Structure 1
């Protein structure tokens, strides 16, 4: 995942509402949203290279991950394994995240969301910008307070333009009839996730990759032949069920299909 906006305990029906885009190289093998063959109770997209995931659910248990952008690229375990490990397990959010503390520096830089059905937590292994020449990997975790939150490839709730815009669109959706109908209308959220408007230079973050790449990566939806938005997803978790909808895209942003699963 490279962009997540979420509303935690703000809606009368859905304790968690989440809208997210996954950006990745188009050549990287990927499996679409489905039940996993080796864990049929888990649903999510899957990385065909390492077997992990960027977003997955088991019932109302959910995990999602983004990378943290700060060159040079740091090697380590695949962060998608964090998602797969959490949704397969039974430990509570706090217990599961606390157990990561010793191993977290061995993973590639990550931001991790974890929801055990009742509590929602956040963890990262790159909590501060490292000094030149330092790796900087450490560990930090916190429970999330009720409200709106956003994550991209920097700190939790960092005011990146695309994150702030998606949070605002999610907030509008929550207050609209589209979110309260028996069959919610997700089109406003998918329209927000499909926004290709680049941010103004003055509002761009500085993650150490240079101005041209910051511009390229600044829209919610990235359209390119080699690297771009591969999946847009909306997740709603109620007291008695969870719903996930995934739309997939190929090179150049070409639509490749949609899957909807209720668990």
Structure 2
């Protein structure tokens, strides 16, 4: 499970993101740093496959991915994290859209939901063996493994937990609707609290200690880039600023 919330063109800062990454606890990863220089890309790194699940660029481009639970038997011949890295190399969300459309024609990936956004455009890509592209409207959007906002696909092989996740996503989106006179930073901080609140079910802990919420990202793109990172579940880990001095 993963949860990605984005407020796009809601505030003066056009892209505000709060996202949890859920993964095997033993899968090695590095915290956000500069991983590309032309353009400058700041992202964490999955040490197993070499890709990433979230990142930002000097072009004010955001890219983030969640797994997508599907019934289709997909080969997953290429890592979804490498697709995120490819998208982050693009100069705009529109260019990233073209890249993703070409990529799924050339490779088969396991199911994914991919969001790309900059100040001009925002797109949601849903891949289950076929690609669906949605241009996002200004507003708050919540993406989880079974879909986004109020459109969910419940896979038969994990129907109960999928329905629960869909209800959690609805609750998160309802809670994170913008408030009167709210700023981007205020919304980001409120979103961070929701992502760590077990009443919303998106901070995950496995009783067997194999899987769970590994990290959490808070990103504000506007006149400046503000990236905060919790290297652990946000219920018990503080989001610390990522040092971006001189990078953007």
CA distance in 1, matches of 2:123, 2:72: 28
CA distance in 2, matches of 1:52, 1:256: 24
Partner of 1:46: 45
Unaligned runs of 5+ in 2: 153-165
Asked if 1:227 is matched to 2:211, the reply is yes
Answer yes or no: is the 8 Å Cα contact 1:30–1:46 preserved in 2: yes
Asked if 1:36 is matched to 2:35, the reply is yes
Q: CA deviation digits over 1:105-126, x for unaligned, max 9?
A: x111111111244211111221
Partner of 1:129: none
> Are the structure 2 counterparts of residues 9 and 49 from structure 1 closer, same or farther at C-alpha, using a change threshold of 3 Å?
same
CA distance in 1, matches of 2:16, 2:235: 25
Answer yes or no: is the 8 Å Cα contact 1:228–1:253 preserved in 2: no
Answer yes or no: is the 8 Å Cα contact 1:243–1:261 preserved in 2: no
Asked if 1:143 is matched to 2:135, the reply is yes
CA distance in 2, matches of 1:164, 1:192: 12
SS in 2 for 1:95: helix
Residue correspondence of structure 1 range 143-162 to structure 2 within 5 A: 143-157=135-149, 158=151, 160-162=166-168
Answer yes or no: is the 8 Å Cα contact 2:196–2:235 preserved in 1: no
CA distance in 1, matches of 2:23, 2:135: 28
CA distance in 2, matches of 1:176, 1:71: 43
CA distance in 2, matches of 1:116, 1:10: 13
CA distance in 2, matches of 1:71, 1:261: 41
Residue correspondence of structure 1 range 81-160 to structure 2 within 5 A: 81-90=82-91, 92-103=95-106, 106-126=108-128, 137-157=129-149, 158=151, 160=166
Unaligned runs of 5+ in 1: 127-136, 199-218
Q: Which runs of 4+ in 1 moved over 6 A?
A: 37-40
Q: CA deviation digits over 1:219-261, x for unaligned, max 9?
A: 11002321110111111121x33222111117x9763873435
CA distance in 2, matches of 1:34, 1:115: 20
> Are the structure 2 counterparts of residues 81 and 260 from structure 1 closer, same or farther at C-alpha, using a change threshold of 3 Å?
same
CA distance in 2, matches of 1:255, 1:62: 23
Answer yes or no: is the 8 Å Cα contact 1:20–1:233 preserved in 2: yes
Partner of 1:167: 173
CA distance in 2, matches of 1:57, 1:102: 25
Q: CA RMSD in A?
A: 2.8
Normalised by the length of structure 1, the TM-score is 0.75
Q: How many residues align?
A: 225
Q: CA deviation digits over 1:198-218, x for unaligned, max 9?
A: 6xxxxxxxxxxxxxxxxxxxx
Partner of 1:214: none
Normalised by the length of structure 2, the TM-score is 0.79
SS in 1 for 2:147: coil
> Are the structure 2 counterparts of residues 30 and 38 from structure 1 closer, same or farther at C-alpha, using a change threshold of 3 Å?
farther
